[in-house]
Amino acid sequence: MQKRVLQLLADNNSGVLSRISGLFSRRGYNIESITAGVTADPRFSRITIVTSGDRDVLEQIEKQVAKLEDVRTVCELKPDESVYRELALVKVRTTAAQRQEIVSLASIFRGNIIDVAPDCVIIEVTGNQSKVDALLKLLEGHEILELARTGIAGLSRGSEGVTHLA
């Protein structure tokens, strides 16, 4: 099983996300995460899908996704030629005494404390998935009250593979 990050440019039509996720469930493909957002041109959405499977399956996934009428381009975001980022919000229970420790943990990961309550804080951290995982690992000694992860968004490096939307 290999992991693969696919980037799609799709028409920003209603239901496009459901068509894509429907395709994955119908054909039994894995989705680890899927994120979607409008591009600079509001007619289009950029969708980043993290999927996994063996080589043949991954090839099928790309072809099947490309076949969807709303999908304009599909490309693989290879790790060494792309950047990935994920945002995570972590609500951690703290006492006043523990708070400083949490704050310094967060700052190691260039995380921000975006909310402080008497008994908990919310850390915002951005990075690739392994960075988020690493922060969570370090927080294991604390009680994580709530966790929200966005799944990754990605772009290829450089200007070579850019699709001009005009």
Partner 1 sequence: MIGADAIVKCLEAEKVEQVFGYPGVAICPFYNSILDSKVRTILVRTEQNAAHAASGVARMTGRPGVCAVTSGPGATNIITGIATAFADSIPLVVITGQVNSELLGSDVFQEADITGATESFVKYSYLVRNVQDIPQIFKEAFYIANSGRKGPVLIDVPIDIQNAYVSKFSYPSEVSLRTYKPTVKGNAVQMKKVVYELGNAHRPIICAGGGVLTSGAKLLVRSFAEQHGIPVVTTMMGKGVMPTDHPLYYGMVGNNGIDYANRAMNEADVIMMVGARVADRAVNQPDLITKGKTLIHIDVDPAEIGKNAISTIPLVGDAKTIFQELVEMKFSGDYDDWIGTLEEYRKNHKNRRNPSAAYVDPARFIAMLSGAMEENAVYVADVGQNQIWSCANAVIRKGRFLTSGGMGTMGYSIPCALGAKLAEPDRQVVAVCGDGSFQMSMMELATFVQHHIQAKIVVISNGYLGMVRQYQHYAYKDHYSVVSLDGSPDLEKLVSAYGFDYLRLENMRNAKRVIEKFLKDENNVLLECIVDPMDLV
Binding residues (CB under 8 A) for partner 1: these are 22, 25-29
Q: How far is the CB of 128 from partner 1 (least distance, A)?
A: 30
User: Which residue shows structure tokens 């804080």?
Assistant: 121
Nearest to 4 by CA among 52, 47, 46: 52
Residue whose CB is less far from partner 1, 3 or 27: 27
Query: CA-CA distances (angstroms) from residue 126 to 8, 53, 104?
Result: 22, 26, 16
Q: How far is the CB of 17 from partner 1 (least distance, A)?
A: 14
Residue whose CB is less far from partner 1, 21 or 156: 21
Residue whose CB is less far from partner 1, 29 or 44: 29
Q: How far is the CB of 166 from partner 1 (least distance, A)?
A: 35
State the Cα–Cα distance between residues 152 and 126, nearest whole angstrom: 10
State the Cα–Cα distance between residues 104 and 16, nearest whole angstrom: 42
